[in-house]
Amino acid sequence: MCGIFAYTGKKDAAKVLLNGLVSLEYRGYDSAGIYLPESGSIKSAGAVDRLKKKIPKTGFTGKSGVAHLRWATHGEPTELNAHPHADCDGDIWVVHNGIIENFRELKEKLIKAGHTFKSDTDTEVLAHLIEEHMKNEKTFEEATLAALNEIRGTYGAAIQYRQDPERIIAARMGSPVVLGVGKGERFIASDPSPIVPHTKQVVFLEDGEVAVITPDSHTIYKLDSTQVKRPTLEIDWSAEEAQKGGYEHFMLKEIMEGPEVIRNTLRGRLIPEKGLAKLGGLESVADELKKIDRIIIVACGTASYAALVGEHMLEEYAEIPVEVELGSEFRYRKPVVNERTAVLGISQSGETLDTLEAIREGKRRGALTLGIVNTVGSTIARETDAGVYNHAGPEVSVASTKAFLSQLTALALLTIFLGRTRKMSAKAGKEIARELLALPEKIERILENRAAIERLAKKYVKAQDFLFIGRKYNYPIAFEGAIKLKEVSYIHAEGCGAGEMKHGPIAMIDENFPTMAIATKDSVYEKMLSNIQEIKARKGKVIAVATEGDTEIGKIADDILYVPKTIEVLSPILNVIPLQLFAYYFAKEKGLNVDRPRNLAKSVTVE
Question: Long-range contacts for 447-451 (Cβ within 8 Å, ≥24 apart)?
Answer: 447/255, 447/256, 447/258, 447/259, 447/577, 447/581, 449/562, 450/581, 450/585
- 2 counts as catalytic: yes
Alpha helical stretches, state H, 83-220? 103-112, 124-134, 140-150
For 369, 443, 552, 570, the CA distances from 566, given in Å and listed in that order, are 32, 11, 18, 7
Question: What whole-number distance in Å separates Cα of residue 29 and Cα of residue 69?
Answer: 6
Residues 323 and 297: beta-carbon distance below 8 Å: yes
Question: What whole-number distance in Å separates Cα of residue 496 and Cα of residue 356?
Answer: 28
Residues 468 and 516: beta-carbon distance below 8 Å: yes
Question: What whole-number distance in Å separates Cα of residue 538 and Cα of residue 445?
Answer: 34
- 300 counts as catalytic: no
- Rounded to a whole number of angstroms, the distance between the first and last alpha carbons of the chain is 10
Question: What whole-number distance in Å separates Cα of residue 79 and Cα of residue 27?
Answer: 19
Residues 380 and 351: beta-carbon distance below 8 Å: yes
Per annotation, catalytic residue among 2, 43, 63, 472: 2
Helix (H/G/I), strand (E/B), else coil: 191: coil
Q: How many helices (H) and strands (E) does the chain have?
A: 18, 27
Question: What whole-number distance in Å separates Cα of residue 288 and Cα of residue 422?
Answer: 14
Nearest to 597 by CA among 191, 79, 27, 69: 27
Question: What whole-number distance in Å separates Cα of residue 273 and Cα of residue 267?
Answer: 15
Q: Phi/psi of residue 359, each to 5°? A: -65, -45
Burial 234-259 (b: 16+ CB within 10 A, else e): ebebebeebeeeeeebbbbbbbbbbb
Q: What torsion, rounded to 10 degrees, do the Cα atoms 101, 105, 111, 112 define? A: -160
DSSP state, residue 342: E
Q: Verify cis geometry, omega within 30 degrees of 0, for the bond prior to 84.
A: yes
Residues 559 and 544: beta-carbon distance below 8 Å: yes
Residues 84 and 35: beta-carbon distance below 8 Å: yes
Residues 381 and 470: beta-carbon distance below 8 Å: no
Positive or negative, the CA dihedral 107, 112, 113, 117 is positive
Residues 457 and 585: beta-carbon distance below 8 Å: yes
The residue count of the chain comes to: 607
Residues annotated as catalytic (active site), given as ranges: 2, 602
